[in-house]
Amino acid sequence: MTAPLLTIENLSIGFRGPDDQPVFIVREVNMSLAAGETLGLVGESGCGKSSLLLAMMGYYKPGLGRLSGSLSYDGEDPGLISSHQLQALRGGGMALIPQNAGQALTPTLRIKAQMIEVLRLHSDLAPSAWHPRCIELFERVKLPAPEQMLKRYPHELSGGQQQRVAIAMALAGEPNLLLLDEPTTGLDVTTQVEVLALLQEICRDLGTAMVYVSHDIQVIQKVCNQIAIMYAGEIVEMGSRATLLAAPVHPYTQGLLASIPRLHQQTLPRPIAGEMLQPVHRGSSVGCGYANRCLLATDQCQATSPAPRVVMDRWVKCHEVEAAVAGELIRPAQKLLAPALGENLLLAVEDLSVSYQRPSLVRALLGHKPLATVQGVTFGIRQGEILGLVGESGSGKSTILKTIAGLQRSLSGRITLSGTDDLAGPVESRARGCLRKVQLVFQNPDASLNPRKTIGEILRRPLELYFELAPTVMNDEVDALLHRVNLPESYKGRFPGQLSGGEKQRVAIARALAAKPELILCDEITSALDVSVQAAILKLLLDLRADSGVSLLFVSHDLAVVETLCDSVLVLEGGEVREAGLCAEVFKNPQHAYTQALMKAVPIADPRKRKDENDVVHIT
């Protein structure tokens, strides 16, 4: 065996809090990577995976630093070498492929200038050879028209092209180790598939080692042979892809896999109760980081941090390994049943067209029609129905939702609610009673909740607006709302900043419910959340529908989520409807080529066929 390319021993990253107490972002991580090996680091947001990745390049985000432990790349510690050596190492020996290539490329420099910068620093090529090398690299990453690409500025490229440029730039220094920080997260599914295929090919052909960081285990398993699961700053389980996915041992790994909505599985994803503590709240506590969410947690888990153990060909950090191995990962067996839906349409959208271009006088005189973002879309939602609107970015799905909400003017077409209320006009022109019936939940709860108002005030606002209530009734109403979204009453006095992402989204849903709406418009409301939390929100939405018979219009780019949650689905491409129908039918047997392409693009982690998929519910 050759010496490993990268070794990490007992590495802790963080900062010193008040009283000089260490606050850990990454805690006691051990790992090693041989040349040519591919390792995937999986974890939810805030688990420290990006900090760990950047530390491999000797980079710490402002305020963070190495608290203990050692790192070694090719025999040298990137934290101890001179800044000159470090500059040679970064982009040369190891190269980073960043999360959002669009933001990682300097906007005022042409692509060529940025490519040549790397060649100048990290290759022995003569300046005359730089241009041909750029073309060669662009062909390697399959960029169309490489000559033209070089002349462009970053914003003139599509998201997928920007990501390819970032990959080409990383390859320019011929690195032995590629570090990837969620390189496909901002991309559409079909683009993601292409980029993943490219990465697989690069690994195979160039034999470059990779550390691939992602929150998405389904993407990781496409590219990596080794998988490490991170939770609260620690690697809790690490092993080869096949065995780890087929038989997860750590309770968190089991929970994570069970919480992922998957295509063609008629069961609900199972949420993990609670949410991961953020580093500041974790502090330097001594117990197992997962103990507060773990179903198997004992007193020992709260008191001491588990030592890593080798269990079944892998490496696990858990006190209760035996119990975890024995207790199987179970997905709850609830079949998704569409309730008996009435025949009456609650919302009818007929021949809707929307354009973001304002019709200017000159254009109108010349007879130019404005460019429509949404063209001739017709659909309906029945009472109590959940309709999913899927499509890639630019498909017009959010535009349709905004138009129904009255935030965007339509060009033509009719929108009616319960056959009587006309929703074609903008929100200012709607009667209060009509406003009440349609509520909106936004994608990002951080931006949609006023940070200076308490949760109680936020929930009272729609109650004051739509209903005249006595103060005591109002209070009871707020309590009831919190209760309906499974939040404790004590949250009334808190500010949004004191809540976690999932909790904030619950508040946003409660605010929509306060108006007693007939239709709730949901704009990608789970895409900013971690999977284990997303599953809980999906469950909540289904429960609310069952209780109150409210209809939902659910916009999402995630096909698996839509299949899990929705009764019917509308597939959009370029502002037009490609396919519509009941979820059960469309997903089983997609008719349109675009739907088929979308479904094929979903990376499915299918580690095993569950034997007990249908009828066992484990309650511990």
Partner 1 sequence: MLRLIARRLIFAVVTLWVVSMVVFSAIELLPGDACQAFLGQMAQGKRLENCRTEHNLNAPAYVRYADWALGLSAGDLGKSIKRSKPLEDIIGPRFRNTVILGMTAALVGIPLAILLGALAALYRDRRPDLWISFIAIFCMTVPEFITGTLLISFFSVWLGWLPGIVIMRADAPLLDVLSKIVLPVMTLTLVMVAHIMRMVRTSMIDVLASDFVMMSQLKGVSRLRQVLMHALPNALLPTINLIALNIAWLMGGVLVVEVVFNYPGIGRLSVNAISDRDFPLVQAIALLMASLYVGLNLIADLLALLLNPKLRSRGVG
**Binding positions for partner 1, rule: CB under 8 A:** 54, 57, 59, 62, 86-92, 95-96, 98, 100, 103-109, 117-118, 121-122, 153, 155-156, 169, 173
Q: How far is the CB of 409 from partner 1 (least distance, A)?
A: 22
Q: Name the DSSP class of 498.
A: G
Q: Which two tokens stand for residue 189?
A: 């599914």
Closer to partner 1 by Cβ: residue 100 or 200: 100
**Which distant-in-sequence residues (6+ apart) come within 8 Å of 117 by Cβ?**
none
Shortest Å distance, C-beta 98 to partner 1: 6
Nearer to partner 1, 54 or 509 (CB): 54
Q: Least distance from C-beta 99 to partner 1, angstroms? A: 8
Contact 12, 156 (CB under 8 A): no
Closest approach, Cβ 180 to partner 1, in A, equals 12
Q: Which is nearer to partner 1, 117 or 136 (CB)?
A: 117
Query: Which one, 115 or 229, has the nearer CB to partner 1?
Result: 115
Which residues, at least 6 apart from 335, have a Cβ–Cβ distance to it below 8 Å? 266, 267
- Contact in structure between 562 and 592 (CB atoms under 8 Å): no
Minimum CB separation from partner 1 for residue 119, in Å?
Answer: 11
**Core vs surface per residue 194-227: b (16+ CB within 10 A) or e:** bbbebbeebbeeeebbbbbbbbbbbbbbbbbebb
Q: How far is the CB of 136 from partner 1 (least distance, A)?
A: 19
Q: Which helix (H) or strand (E) holds 565?
A: helix 559-565
Which is nearer to partner 1, 150 or 435 (by Cβ)? Answer: 150
Shortest distance in whole angstroms from residue 422 CB to partner 1? 35
User: Residue 273's closest CA among 486, 451, 12, 105?
Assistant: 486
Which residues lie below 8 Å from residue 387, measured CB to CB, with a gap of 6+?
379, 381, 551, 552, 553, 554, 566, 567, 568, 569, 570
**Closest separation in Å from C-beta 118 to partner 1:** 6
> Which CB, 21 or 106, lies closer to partner 1?
106
Contacts of 72 (CB under 8 A, 6+ apart): 6, 7, 8, 9
What does the longest C-alpha to C-alpha distance in the chain come to?
Answer: 80
DSSP 427: G
Nearer to partner 1, 108 or 420 (CB): 108
CB 155 to partner 1: min, Å:
5
Q: Which is nearer to partner 1, 155 or 609 (CB)?
A: 155
Complex with partner 1: residue 155 or 432, whichever CB lies closer: 155
Distance CA 616, CA 284 (A): 39
**Residue that has been written with the tokens 């500059």 in this structure:** 87
